[in-house]
Structure 1
Amino acid sequence: MEINAKARDPREHVNEEPRNDLGDLMTGFFGMTGFMTLVFFGMVIVKFVFLD
């Protein structure tokens, strides 16, 4: 009796897209840092304009 089964190695990751994880991390980190810096300086300007 012959079994016609094809086993795949789970380490192949056939459905996984190639990604640049470090690049994604750096983009997110510096993007968020830049956004928060803009928010900070925007709030400083708002403080000086409306509270003087």
Structure 2
Amino acid sequence: MTDAELAAAKEEIQELREEIREDLAADLDGDPEEYDSEKHFRDLDSDTGEAVPDGGE
């Protein structure tokens, strides 16, 4: 995988994360930011690759 392909994949993943946060907020009520795994794990000083059950609660 080239650097350009990797950058494009990362951008697509970020767009999907935003869409998923919006969908979760619509389905479960609340604000899309409540379902931000990057913020959750940044606060925990952990790996953002882990799953976040129940919007990080």
Aligned-residue Cα RMSD (Å) equals 1.7
Partner of 1:31: 9
Q: Which has the higher contact order (CA 8 A, sep 6+)?
A: 2
Structure 2: segments with no counterpart, 5+ residues: 31-57
Deviation at 1:43, TM superposition (A): 0.7
Higher relative helix content:
2
Deviation at 1:24, TM superposition (A): 1.0
Q: Which has the larger radius of gyration?
A: 1
Q: Does 1:48 align with 2:26?
A: yes
**Percent identity for Structure 1 against Structure 2:** 3
